[in-house]
Amino acid sequence: MVYVKQEKHHNIQNDNQNNNLYIMPKPDIHPTWFTETPVFCDGKPICYIGSTKQELNIDVWLINHPFYTASQTLIDSEGRVERFMKKYGLQSPEN
């Protein structure tokens, strides 16, 4: 068996002679980046961040989130076992 050396494929992106043909990265494919984008909640500016949008509107954030304002409603699950036992006619473990 005779070994035949494979020809190396030419990478045109790294070709020094054809630098004007292909420019990496491609221009005009990325969105515009805004460094001072205001974030609004209920029409009031909260902070400024970097974003691809000119303005951000949010509904909930740290100050008006129910968990942090202690206005979170807890669901009372007391009595669920007793209702299940009554519904299926079973004896509750306490009886």
pTM of the model as a whole: 0.45
| pLDDT, average across residues 64-83 | 71
Give the strands of the sheet with 44-51, arranged side by side. Answer: 44-51, 34-41, 56-58
50, 35 contact by CB (below 8 A): yes
Residue 39: pLDDT band (50, 70, 90) is: very high
Kindly tell me if the per-residue pLDDT of 22 is higher than 60: no
